[in-house]
Structure 1
Amino acid sequence: MKNKILLVLTILFGLMMVNSGLNKFFNYMPMPEDMPEETMKIFGAFMTIKWLMPLIALGEIVGGVLIAIPKTRALGAIVIFPIMVGIVVHHLTHDPAGVVIGLILFLINIWVIIEEKNRYMHMIK
């Protein structure tokens, strides 16, 4: 039962990450109107660094696809982990309204890492 729940959560997690990454390339989801001004300034600064958002988008897409596939889930969890840390830290410091979904996704990512820990042990030894 736990494996089925994890499978469903990782597929949804992966789809959310892929969607977020594709949106950074194609801008098909409108930005919220009530975004704090500080957050708008931060995104404006990110846009001045031309390579940053495409790199994050690529990481989200690759990590999302990898985490959704059970065989590559361990690699996907590691690929997406730094992006999830950035999302949670951003929401904790600049936009607390979105921190709940960020923390939920972060906890799913941590759960996958814990479940797949045997695949990481050979790198630590």
Structure 2
Amino acid sequence: MKSKILFVLCLLTGLMFINAGLDKFFHYMPMPKEMPEKMMKAFTAFTEIGWLMPLVGVTEVLGGVLLIFGRTRALGAIVLVPLLTGILLANISMAPSGLPIVFVLIAIVIWVMIENKEKYLPMIRK
């Protein structure tokens, strides 16, 4: 039962990241109307850097796809950690109203990492 719940959570989280990543290229989701001014300025600045948003988009899609499949789930969690760190810091500093969703995503990724801890051990062993 626990593995089925984890699969569903990883599927939904992965699809969310795939959607967010694809939006960086195709711009099909409208910008929220109630976005704070600081976040709007930061987003505009990030889009001015031509390579940054495509890099984030590719990383989101890749991390989302890897998270969906059990065989690559541990790698997907590692790929998503830097993105989630950036999302967390952006929400703390500019839009605290988004923190509950960020905490849920972080909890899911931490659960994946705990479930796959044996796959990470070779990275930290001597």
TM-score w.r.t. length of structure 2? 0.97
Question: 1:102: Cα distance to partner?
Answer: 1.0
Partner of 2:58: 58
Match of 1:72 in 2: 72
Opposite residue 115 of structure 1, the aligned amino acid is E
Shift of residue 22 of structure 1?
0.4
Q: Which runs of 5+ in 2 are unaligned?
A: none
Counterpart in the other structure of 1:113: 113
Specify every segment of 5 or more residues in structure 1 that has no aligned partner in the other structure, as ranges.
none
Q: Which amino acid aligns with 2:43?
A: F
User: What is the Cα deviation at residue 51 of structure 1?
Assistant: 0.6
Tell me which residue corresponds to 1:89: 89
Instruction: Give the residue type in structure 1 aligned to 2:50.
Output: K
Instruction: Quote the Cα distance in structure 2 between the aligned partners of 1:59 and 1:94.
Output: 23
Q: Distance in 2 between matches of 1:53 and 1:103?
A: 23
Q: Distance in 2 between matches of 1:50 and 1:99?
A: 28
- After superposition, what is the alpha-carbon deviation per residue over 1:36-64, rounded to whole angstroms, capped at 9, x for unaligned? 11111000110111111100100000000
Aligned to 1:103: 103
Distance in 1, matches of 2:9 and 2:33, equals 29
By how many angstroms is 1:10 displaced? 0.3
Query: CA-to-partner distance for each residue in 1:51-106, whole Å, 9 max, x for gaps?
Result: 11100100000000000001100010001110011111111111011111111001
TM-score (ref. length: structure 1): 0.98
- What's the CA shift for 1:34? 1.3
2: distance between equivalents of 1:2 and 1:89?
30
TM-align CA RMSD: 0.7
Q: How does 1:29-48 map to 2 (within 5 A)?
A: 29-48=29-48
2: CA distance between counterparts of 1:34 and 1:79?
30
